[in-house]
């Protein structure tokens, strides 16, 4: 999906070029070049001056504070509304001020941004600091969970429930995902919820790729057709979503929708197909 390596540092222009943005100072970047993702930068003098208290949590997730340097933060803010939608993958970077040697070498004071990985927004909540320069302000903090680890929570997701017709499949999904994702949810529970959505897509496909309409190319070790789940709005294939936003694809279509020269048009076609299929199931 993206050309960044975890642990490696990049100049801000590299981040702007990736998404196609001209945002000068914002800590959240987005653009038309990569519409399925948003870049969040954390730390640095700007963040400290704004009173942000982003932090990495022991389970690998992050608290990431919303945008708005003065007073209360609002979900109507463009960056905050994009994060709250939970429809975009988050590329998280931490900010570092350059050393004197680096300033001399690069000819300026441009910050360096270290890539922390691909994340999804699990939830958000209000937060009112009791101390510091933002004391008493109504802030918004978003809980980011690492997306790539979600692929590990796939045990038995191909196992078919017995006796399910189309309506039964819809009812199974409703029950499986009926509970809201609470704040502070353990990552293992979060990924179990994600697995239910992936499982649903594979059950709905009945072994037929929802991209090209051909039979799955081979069977998995458990005897089920091998298909990979793609999220249609995001450019990353991880995280929870809705039935209308997931498709079970053969490996060729999955690579095409990410790397093909026609990836945007191909993805748009799958979106229409899945919407029609879901309307039929209902």
Query: With the C-alpha atoms ordered 77, 182, 242, 36, is the resulting torsion angle positive or negative?
Result: positive
State how far the Cα of 86 lies from the Cα of 240, in Å rounded to an integer.
Answer: 9
What is the full DSSP assignment across 54-95? -EE-TTS-EEEE-S-SSS---TTSHHHHHHHTT-SEEEEEEE
Contact 243, 204 (CB under 8 A): yes
For residue range 26-50, list pLDDT tens digits in order. Answer: 889 999 888 878 999 998 666 666 6
Contact 139, 125 (CB under 8 A): no
Q: What is the mean pLDDT of residues 1-8?
A: 80
Sequence-ordered alpha helix ranges (H) in 95-186 = 100-106, 166-176
For residue 105, the model assigns a pLDDT of 85
DSSP 203: H
Q: Which helix (H) or strand (E) holds 197?
A: helix 187-205
Contact 232, 274 (CB under 8 A): yes
For residue 13, the model assigns a pLDDT of 92
For residue 29, the model assigns a pLDDT of 95
Within 8 A by CB and 6+ apart from 45, the residues are 97
- At 148, the pLDDT band (50, 70, 90 cuts) reads low
Helix, coil or strand: residue 219: strand
For residue range 74-117, list pLDDT tens digits in order. Answer: 999 999 999 998 878 899 999 998 889 888 888 888 889 999 98
Range with the largest mean pLDDT of 147-156, 164-173, 228-237: 228-237
Q: What is the mean pLDDT of residues 160-188?
A: 55
The pTM is what? 0.64
């Amino acid at each position: 999906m993206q050309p960044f390596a975890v642990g490696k540092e990049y100049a801000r222009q590299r981040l702007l070029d990736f998404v196609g943005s001209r945002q000068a100072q914002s800590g959240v970047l987005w653009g038309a070049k990569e519409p399925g993702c948003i870049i969040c930068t954390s730390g640095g003098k700007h963040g400290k001056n704004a009173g942000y208290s982003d932090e990495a949590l022991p389970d690998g997730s992050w608290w990431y504070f919303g945008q708005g340097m003065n007073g209360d933060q609002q979900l109507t803010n463009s960056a905050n509304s994009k994060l709250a939608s939970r429809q975009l993958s988050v590329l998280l970077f931490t900010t570092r001020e350059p050393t004197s040697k680096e300033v001399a070498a690069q000819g300026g004071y441009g910050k360096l941004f270290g890539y922390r990985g691909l994340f999804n927004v699990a939830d958000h909540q209000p937060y009112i600091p009791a101390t510091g320069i933002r004391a008493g302000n109504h802030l918004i903090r978003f809980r980011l969970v690492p997306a790539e680890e979600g692929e590990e929570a796939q045990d038995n997701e191909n196992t078919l429930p017995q006796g399910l017709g189309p309506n039964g499949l819809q009812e199974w999904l409703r029950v499986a995902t009926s509970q809201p994702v609470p704040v502070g949810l353990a990552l293992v529970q979060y990924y179990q919820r994600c697995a239910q959505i992936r499982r649903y897509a594979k059950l709905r496909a009945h072994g037929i790729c929802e991209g090209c309409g051909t039979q799955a190319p081979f069977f998995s070790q458990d005897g089920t057709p091998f298909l990979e789940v793609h999220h249609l709005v995001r450019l990353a294939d991880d995280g929870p979503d809705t039935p209308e936003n997931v498709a079970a694809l053969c490996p060729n279509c999955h690579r095409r929708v990410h790397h093909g020269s026609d990836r945007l048009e191909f993805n748009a076609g799958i979106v229409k197909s899945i919407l029609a299929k879901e309307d039929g199931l209902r």
